Amino acid sequence: MIYLMTALKFWRECLIALLAFLLVFALIVVNHKEVKLQEQKLEHANYVQKQTQNYLDTVQKQQIEMNKVSADYEKLKAEQATKVEYVTRTINKYIDRPVYSNVCIDDDGRLQLNELIKSGQSTKASTK
């Protein structure tokens, strides 16, 4: 009986040691997995940061390109506005001229009519 009791104590101590070993082993495995998980989180954070930086660089390049196109458009628009303003001023200059009330032709129109009449008379005189 004493032999059986010492054997049971021995097995009980062996079982406790085995459970302690399994507990330590489980903690080591969990710790190893935790370290790998932290490394993967760090790699993912670096990847996200790199992709974000690439995106921001691309957006900045596109913004610069759009600003150039916009500046070119504004320059062209200003040139066209200058041309339109010149034509408008020229037209206003002709419109603002005094018109003879009974003839309705200004000086430039009268000169052109006189030249037309003279050219018509010169062709009739040469044909006679």
- Which one has a higher pLDDT value, 91 or 57? 57
**Average pLDDT of the chain to the nearest whole number:** 80
Q: Which runs of E-coded beta strand occur in the chain?
A: none
Mean pLDDT of 30-45: 94
Residues 5-16 pLDDT 10s: 777 777 888 888
Integer CA distances (angstroms), 83 to 74, 86, 90, 109, in order = 14, 5, 11, 25
Mean pLDDT of 67-93: 79
Return the domain boundaries, the chain.
60-96, 99-128
List Cβ<8 Å contacts ≥24 apart for 74-79.
none
pLDDT at 100: 46
pLDDT of 25 > 50? The answer is yes
65: pLDDT confidence band, cut at 50, 70 and 90? very high
Gap between the terminal Cα atoms of the chain: 165
- Which one has a higher pLDDT value, 80 or 3? 80
pLDDT of 87 > 90? The answer is no
